[in-house]
Amino acid sequence: MDNRVVTRLGAAALCLGMTHSAMGLDARIEGVDGDVAENVRYYLDGLEAARYSRSRIEGEVQRRTREALRVYGYYSPQVVHQLPEGDPPGYVELMIEPGPRVRIETLDIRIEGDAAEDPRFREAVEAFPLAEGDPLVHAPYDRLRSRLANLSLERGYFDWRFVDRRMEVRPHAESARLYLALDSGPRHHFGEVTIDGSHIEEERLRRMLPFSPGDPYLAGELARYNQRLGQTGWFGSIAVRPRLGEAASLALPEPRVGFWNEVEVAGGELASQPPAAPDADGPRLSGLALEGATALHRPDRPEVPIDISVTPADRHKFEVGVGYATDVGPRTRFAWNQPWINRYGHGLDHNLFLSAPEQRFTGTYNMPLADPLRDSYRFQYGFRHRDNEDTRSLEATVEAARRWEFENLWVQTLYVRTTYEDFTQGGEEEQVWLLYPGISWSRTRTRNPTFPSWGDRQRIAFEVSDGMWGSDADFLRMTGETQWIRMFGEDTRFVTRLGFGAIETDDFDKIPPSLRFFAGGDRSVRGYAYESLAPRNEEGRLTGGQQLLTASAELQRRITGAWWGAAFVDTGDAFEEWGPDALNTGAGLGVRWISPVGPIRFDIAHPFDDEDDSWRIHFAIGPEF
């Protein structure tokens, strides 16, 4: 055999041996099971046998096993261990007689100070799962202690301290006494808000505050305000901080605990007596002395000033995107975004989209109002050229819109749009100018927008055009869609959607292709070509429909990691009159891959109403919402 091959195999074997020895000691346990046994395994998992002598390993096994059992109230166990021959041992056999279990004799949990009237603290105490007479388990006590400390900081009780925190265990009496008393002190309130570094009118930023000076302090409100500032796109960096600890430098550091004053009390708590000397030079006050001194001049309602520091975002941002879909083939997008162009936060975006059947250029001027994230005026313009199947169109559009976003996440948009379109549809040429107002309501909710585990989207819109204000066609147009994504467990995902539309008009020949209805394609009825489902004239050319109905149901199942399989059924059509005899239906199977650039979808669909009885491949990149 080649020496190089032997060398490589030897190195691989050595690496495997090192990997095994670096792993924790495997425990084979008898006498206990369930959570207790798992906790013993967890404690031994960090014991690397190769680092210790055999006698040291035996001592560590005994010590760690007893610690793991103590957490569940077993303070007098009998533990017999046996290690296999050979060094280092790869496992240990444990015979455990857990012995009597300590039970809670006294449970005393108290909240003092302003937090005694705070419902969040009462909920935390009421949710404590142990009661007098129950077996002792350490974890709930530790979790409650951490929960109360976190709540104190989150809700503005910055002078909080535990005045009693004891777990007294008497193994000989098989009993334990648990004491936990929190003195929250007074609750702080929001104080003066200072904004530094903003290039946007300061009053606009203050209108976005989710709190007012004088409101009770909540850390979540600061995070919420930070998020709001980020959503505007105006800033490159954002820092929202409470101004705390102005007197902290006067206090002595926490006392150190040396081995000479460590006392292990029953239950594992450490008590310390004499404090160590301070490290810093110069006179200092102890924490208790400082607390007593400052309490003399403490206001009845202490306030926390809020400091906000921001830096401007880049004034110009450029993006280039490429993609592919079987509907349009290769596609490219160029974007030039200006998130702010003046001190009022107005923004300007331009987008160029290029694909074989469609090319369009659009621009949007955004004018935020009193609440920049919820209320705005938008002015849009765009040019579009389409050349697909029996549709040829050159379109120019200008739109003015007023947008409101409500607390329930619904967005209402009231707009007026004017369109000039020179088109040929199904061999018929026409030029029209339309002026039509409209109103729409939409809402999108999602968790993990790239590949939602939960989400839904709704939209409904109404548009009207009339010759009395100069339009070349009279019509009333309604469109709507809904899409839902839900997870069942960790590995099953259900996606469904429904789309509909209708045009009421006596001038259908003057309705441009951009307002007519077509079905078929990747995001419509799979198994059929893009916008190939619609009424046709006597020559067999597509004319587009006055009504639309599409529906889809898709079940996805995780295969492994980021790979998912899918099975789906789509149905729908565009038609001239309501109540069609039948809808076109397609079904098939697909694969989803959650790639670093977004979900990639590959589907093979069979159209049941195609005379050729063919199969069609659909491929697309991008999120579902």
Peptide bond into 140 cis (omega under 30): no
Which of 3.10.20.310, 3.40.30.10, 3.30.230.10, 3.40.50.300 is the CATH number of 103-183?
3.10.20.310
| List of residues 6+ apart from 408 with CB closer than 8 A | 443
- pLDDT, mean over the chain: 87
| Residues sharing a CB contact under 8 Å with residue 570, sequence separation 6 or more, in sequence order | 524, 525, 526, 527, 550, 551, 552, 585, 586, 587, 605
Tokens coding 566: 């899918």
Which comes out higher in pLDDT, residue 9 or 422? 422
Please tell me the CATH superfamily of domain 26-97, with its number. membrane protein fhac (3.10.20.310)
Structure tokens of 602?
Answer: 């590959």
pLDDT in tens, 97-132: 999 999 999 999 999 999 999 999 999 999 999 999
**Residue 625 CA from chain centroid, whole number:** 15
The CATH number for 317-621, chosen from 2.40.160.50, 3.50.50.60, 3.40.228.10, 2.30.30.240, is 2.40.160.50
- Whether the pLDDT of residue 269 is over 90: the answer is no
pLDDT of 300 higher than 90: no
- Candidates 196, 228, 225; CA nearest to 368 is 228
Per domain, the residue ranges of the chain are 26-97, 103-183, 188-243+302-313, 317-621
Using CA atoms, how far apart are residues 419 and 397, in angstroms rounded to an integer?
4
The rounded distance, in Å, linking the Cα atoms of 546 and 542 is 12
Measured from the Cβ of residue 558, the count of other Cβ atoms closer than 10 Å reads 15
Helices (H) and strands (E) in the chain, counts: 8, 27
**How far, in Å, CA of 63 to CA of 123, rounded?**
37
Is 562 in contact with 580 (CB distance < 8 Å)? Answer: no
CA end-to-end span of the chain: 58
- C-beta neighbour count of 464 within 10 angstroms: 15
Adjacency order of strands within the sheet including 91-97: 26-30, 91-97, 78-82
Whether the CB-CB separation of 568 and 552 falls below 8 Å is answered with yes
User: Does 597 score more than 80 pLDDT?
Assistant: no
**24 alpha-carbon distance from chain centroid:** 35
Check if CATH label 3.40.50.300 holds for domain 188-243+302-313: no
Alpha-carbon distance 467 to 475, whole Å?
Answer: 9
Three-class SS state of 190: strand
DSSP summary character for residue 500: E
Q: What is the pLDDT of residue 292?
A: 54
In the structure encoding, which two tokens stand for residue 91, read together? 């496992």
Q: Measured between alpha carbons, how far is 25 from 82 in angstroms, rounded to an integer?
A: 12
Sequential DSSP letters for 55-84:
HHHHHHHHHHHHHHHHTTTB-S-EEEEEPP
Q: Please provide residue 186's backbone torsions phi and psi, each rounded to the nearest 5 degrees.
A: -75, 155
- Range of lowest pLDDT (184-188, 306-310, 478-482, 596-600): 596-600
Q: Which residues have CB under 8 Å from 146's CB, separation 6+?
A: none
DSSP string, 129-177: ---TTSBP-HHHHHHHHHHHHHHHHHTT-TT-EEEEEEEEEEGGGTEEE
pTM of the model: 0.75
Distance CA 242, CA 229 (A): 16
DSSP assignment of 405-440 equals E-TTS-EEEEEEEEEEEEEEETTEEEEEEEEEEEEE
At 253 the pLDDT is 45
Residue range 303-345, pLDDT digits in tens: 999 999 999 999 999 999 888 888 888 999 999 999 999 999 9
Q: Is the pLDDT of residue 263 over 70?
A: no
Taking each helix axis from N to C end, the angle separating 138-154 and 219-232, rounded to the nearest 10 degrees, works out to 60
Structure tokens at 575: 């038609």
The string of pLDDT tens digits covering residues 34-56 is: 999 999 999 988 788 778 888 88
CA distance 67 to 17: 30
DSSP state of 314: P
Could you tell me the pLDDT band of residue 571, with boundaries at 50, 70 and 90?
very high
Residue 12 banded pLDDT, cuts 50, 70, 90 = very low
Confidence of residue 271 (pLDDT cuts 50, 70, 90): very low
* Residue 183 one-letter amino acid: D
Domains 103-183 and 188-243+302-313 share a fold: yes
Strand partners, 25: none
Residue 455 and residue 444: Cα distance in Å, rounded? 7
Q: Give residue-wise pLDDT tens across range 54-66.
A: 888 889 999 999 9
CA separation for the pair 422, 413 (Å, rounded): 27
Higher pLDDT, 20 or 485: 485
| DSSP structure string for 338-357 | ES-SSTT--EEEEEEEEESS
Q: What is the dihedral of CA 136, 170, 40, 51, to 10 degrees?
A: 150
How many residues are listed for the chain in this entry? Answer: 625
Nearest to 567 by CA among 621, 622, 606, 614: 606
Cβ 125 vs Cβ 139: under 8 Å:
no
Residue 186 and residue 159 in contact, taking contact as beta carbons nearer than 8 Å: yes
What pLDDT, on a 0 to 100 scale, did the predictor assign at position 625?
75
496 forms beta bridges with 484, 553
Residue with tokens 């967005």: 411
Amino acid occupying residue 266: A
What local confidence, expressed as pLDDT, does residue 251 receive?
Answer: 37
Top pLDDT among 591 and 614 is at: 591
d(CA 349, CA 335): 7
Answer for the pair 519, 584: CB distance below 8 angstroms, yes or no: yes
